[in-house]
Structures are given as structure tokens and as C-alpha cells.
Amino acid sequence: MLDEIKLLDKDGMRLDGRKLDQLRPIRMEAGVLDNADGSAYIEWGGNKVIAAVYGPREAQPKYLQDPSKAIVQVSYNMAAFSSDERVRPGPNRRATEISKITAEALESVVLTGNFPRASIDVYIEVLEADAGTRCAGLTAASIAIADAGIPMKDLVAACAVGKIDGQLALDLGKKEDNFGQADMPLGFVPGTGEISLLQMDGHMTIAEFKAAMQMCMAACKHIHELQRDALRRRYAVNYADMSEPEAEQ
């Protein structure tokens, strides 16, 4: 089965017509929800993800409170209609894992020391899934945290890189993810050069891994720019004197 599906054509183009180092189209918007303290919406290829942030607020239950810093709690959830097969509602092994790694990735950039005993609650809702939702979720969540006015070192940008038909490819689509040889999501903090999330499925040689990291970090820098634009655009509307160019997507 694995060998029967060709993910690259003879010109080296992918199933959706992308080049190996090309991202899917990405659109981001900050401040889409009124009731949350901060929010963001992202469309990334076929993914549609909303992130909402509440807090900092007093951590509940009380035993979770840390008297020296705030905690970041993330709930990643896929809507029942997000995939072609119905997703059974409620937490599962995969959602719990993604919630945990996203919380850790965000905690590394949020200045948690400013809010002892508090909790920053992030809700990531996947409305439509098409591979790479954890990266889209993390990217949206960091915009939402900034939108909530929570102090942070920098925004986290995330992107995946993988291996299809023996070649490294950026930002895998659903088929590439299912039938490729490797998938590696990366969360990157461009300002500090830190890596706040790194996972891998499948196999890569060390040389491939190094090349994949370079490729993915470059993509994250591009995504980081899109994140910044989304945040600026949120307030540029009211900002008559600003001569900020409209963000290009």
C-alpha cells in the first residue's frame, strides 16, 4: 500500500501542486470572539482553528496554583464534524497529548512570573482538520494570548516538516501525512531561537533531520511575520495615522 501511492510527480510537485518547500495558504485573524479575553482564528490549508484565551485568572482547583508563577492550561478539542469521519466528542489520548505539549510550548514564552497563583486558560477548537492541526492550534493560541494582553517574550510559530517519497517536504497535507515516511511538527520562537515543541513520527537520517530543522525554522519565521501582521491589523483599523501596509497573505 505504502509504495503504491505516489506523493510526488516526475517534476517534483506534490499532490496539491505545491513545491517541496512551499506552505499551504495561511490566513490569520486576531480578536474574533467578544466573550473571551483574547482570541484568534486561523485558516491553514484545509484547517480551520479557533483559539480563545481566558485569564490570567485565579487557578481552580486551588491545588493547581503555583505561588511563584502562573500556570498555562490548554484544552485542544476537535469538533465532531471536523474530519470526514465523525470525531467522537470528548477528550481522548491524542487530544490530551496535544493539550499538554501545547501548554508547555506556550508556557515557555509567557512571562508567568508576573501572575503568581493564576491560570491562563487556552481553548483550541478545531473546526475542520486537514493535517497539521497541532501546529495551526499552537500558532493561533499564541496570537490569542498576545491579543488578551498577557505579557510574553515572543510569539510561538509552529509548522511541520516531513518526508514523502524519500524527499523532505514542508507542511504536510493529509495524504502526505498518512502515506509519507515521516512527520515532524516544530514550535519555534524566532526572537530567542528556542524550540518549544518538537515531535516526530517515522524515520529520518541525521542529515535529513538537520535539513528538515533548517527548512522548518525558515517557514516558522514566515509564519511569525503573519502572526505579527494579524495582531497589528486588529488595531490598525482604528488607527487613522498609521501608515502600516495591509498584510499580504
Partner 1 sequence: MFGCDAMADDVQRTDRVIVVPGEQVGDSELKSGNGTYRKGDLIFSAQLGIVNFRAGFVNVIPFAGKYSPKPGDSIIGIVQDAGPNSWMVDIGCPYPAFLHANESPWKVEFGATTQHLNVGDVVLAKIGQVDETRRVNLTMKEQGLRKLNTGQIMKIVHTKVPRIIGKNGSMISLLKEHTGCRIFIGQNGTIWIDGELEGMRKASAAINIIDRGTHLHGLTDEVRAYLNGNPPGNDDERM
Which residues are at the interface with partner 1 (CB under 8 A)?
A: 37-38, 55-58, 67-68, 109, 111, 114-118, 146-155, 189-192, 227-228, 231-232, 235-236, 238-242, 244
Q: How far is the CB of 228 from partner 1 (least distance, A)?
A: 5
Q: How far is the CB of 24 from partner 1 (least distance, A)?
A: 23
**Considering beta carbons, is residue 175 or 233 the nearer one to partner 1?**
233
**Considering beta carbons, is residue 55 or 162 the nearer one to partner 1?**
55
**Considering beta carbons, is residue 144 or 161 the nearer one to partner 1?**
144
**Considering beta carbons, is residue 161 or 189 the nearer one to partner 1?**
189
Q: How far is the CB of 140 from partner 1 (least distance, A)?
A: 15
Q: How far is the CB of 158 from partner 1 (least distance, A)?
A: 15
For every residue of the chain, DSSP letters joined together read -TTT---B-TTS-BTTS--TT-PPPEEEEE---SSSSEEEEEEETTEEEEEEEEEEEE-SSGGG-BTTB-EEEEEEEE-TTSSSSPPPSS--HHHHHHHHHHHHHHHTTB-GGGSTTEEEEEEEEEEE-SS-HHHHHHHHHHHHHHHTT--BS---EEEEEEEETTEEEES--HHHHHHSSEEEEEEEETTTTEEEEE--EE---HHHHHHHHHHHHHHHHHHHHHHHHHHHHHHHTT-TT--PPPPP-
